[in-house]
């Protein structure tokens, strides 16, 4: 048996093509394109690559970019003023602060400044509260991307055992809540969980969102389970070459799982697309 791959890249391309078509029609009706502002601080190469990807994807679907790049020593006050100006800017429908930020900055205080209707990453407490209550609202991009991917492959979640490994506010917790909303029976495991192997092996749907290469071995996977690898880790192999891997030992788990996301080409591709989706959603909310 070999797992079927959950192809996030292909789904993302299809979704981006649909968004591009929508934007083409809507910008004539509303006299302007949707707008997204990505705020980046400092020169972290991984963050810079993510921001470039996001801006490229915006261009593909016709979203205008109002991104700003600040030096690493920018003050909290300057960032807060920028966010407030973007909140007032009618051309901007989505605002995202690229995380992580340098230590002297308070990222939670910054996220709280974003107008909840422009909160493209769904991390404002109001949107997280809506998620907890199961009300419509902007959902965090990576968790929403995972759900879209499962939906696209018609994976039945109702009554299934789902195990989410990782409990961050960015990924683990919101994924667990979305799975709960989809009627799965959800367990959240984390760094203090006892006997992770047994917990993981109970899962029909296993989500790894930790940031540890090779954490999920084949013994931890129930045969036929759906395995979603959210982890993104850069490793250097024996030949000295660097590459991206997830949290799942991909080659070893492939013959055991029923479905598996590749890294890259799985969840990561969906994350960027959900950011575009959220921006267009906010834009439509404003006019419709």
Q: Tell me which residues touch ligand NAD (CB under 6 A).
A: 142, 165-168, 170-172, 189-191, 196, 209-212, 230-233, 267-268, 271
What is the DSSP secondary structure assignment for residue 117, as one 8-state letter?
Answer: G
Q: Which is nearer to ligand NAD, 96 or 171 (by Cβ)?
A: 171
Q: Which is nearer to ligand NAD, 63 or 165 (by Cβ)?
A: 165
Peptide bond into 57 cis (omega under 30): no
Q: Which is nearer to ligand NAD, 26 or 175 (by Cβ)?
A: 175
CB of 172 to ligand NAD, least distance (A): 5
Rounded (10°) angle between helices 267-287 and 45-61: 50
Q: Which is nearer to ligand NAD, 185 or 233 (by Cβ)?
A: 233
Q: Which is nearer to ligand NAD, 26 or 155 (by Cβ)?
A: 155
CB of 56 to ligand NAD, least distance (A): 15
CB of 49 to ligand NAD, least distance (A): 12
CB of 234 to ligand NAD, least distance (A): 9
Residues 6+ apart with CB under 8 A from 54: 36, 38, 96, 272, 275
Among 11, 275, 17, 271, CA closest to 155? 11
Enzyme catalytic residues? 54, 98, 121
E strands present in the chain: 4-5, 35-41, 64-65, 68-70, 94-97, 161-165, 185-189, 205-208, 226-229, 233-236, 242-245, 259-260
Q: Which is nearer to ligand NAD, 162 or 165 (by Cβ)?
A: 165
Pure H helices in 153-266: 172-181, 196-201, 250-253
Buried b / exposed e along 57-69 (16+ C-beta atoms within 10 A): bbebbbbbbbbee
CB of 35 to ligand NAD, least distance (A): 22
What is the DSSP secondary structure assignment for residue 157, as one 8-state letter?
Answer: -
E strands present in 126-172: 161-165
Summarize the chain as % helix, strand, coil (round to 5). Answer: 45, 15, 40
CB of 131 to ligand NAD, least distance (A): 16
Region for residue 183 given its phi and psi (left: phi exceeds 0; alpha: psi -120 to 50; beta: otherwise): left
């Amino acid at each position: 048996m070999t797992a079927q791959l959950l192809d996030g890249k292909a789904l993302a391309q299809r979704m981006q093509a649909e968004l591009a078509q929508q934007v083409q029609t809507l910008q004539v009706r509303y006299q302007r394109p949707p707008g997204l502002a990505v705020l980046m601080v400092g020169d972290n190469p991984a963050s810079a690559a993510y921001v470039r990807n996001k801006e490229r994807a915006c261009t593909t679907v016709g979203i205008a970019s109002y991104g700003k790049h600040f030096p690493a020593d920018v003050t909290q006050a300057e960032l807060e003023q920028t966010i407030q100006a973007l909140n007032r800017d009618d051309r901007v429908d989505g605002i995202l602060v690229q995380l992580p930020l340098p230590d002297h900055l308070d990222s939670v205080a910054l996220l709280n400044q974003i107008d909840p209707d422009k909160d493209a990453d769904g991390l404002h407490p109001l949107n997280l509260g809506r998620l907890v209550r199961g009300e419509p609202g902007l959902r965090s991009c990576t968790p929403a991307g995972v759900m879209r991917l499962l939906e696209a492959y018609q994976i039945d979640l109702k009554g299934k055992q789902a195990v989410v490994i990782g409990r961050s506010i960015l990924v683990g917790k919101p994924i667990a809540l979305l799975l709960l909303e989809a009627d799965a029976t959800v367990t959240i495991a984390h760094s203090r969980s006892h006997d992770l192997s047994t917990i993981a092996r109970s899962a029909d749907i296993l989500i790894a969102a930790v940031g540890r290469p090779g954490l999920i071995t084949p013994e931890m996977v129930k045969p036929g389970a759906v395995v979603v690898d959210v982890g993104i880790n850069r490793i250097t192999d024996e030949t000295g070459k660097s590459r991206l891997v997830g949290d799942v030992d991909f080659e070893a788990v492939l013959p055991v799982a029923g479905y598996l996301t590749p890294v890259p080409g799985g969840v990561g591709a969906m994350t960027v697309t959900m950011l575009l989706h959220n921006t267009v959603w906010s834009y439509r909310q404003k006019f419709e």
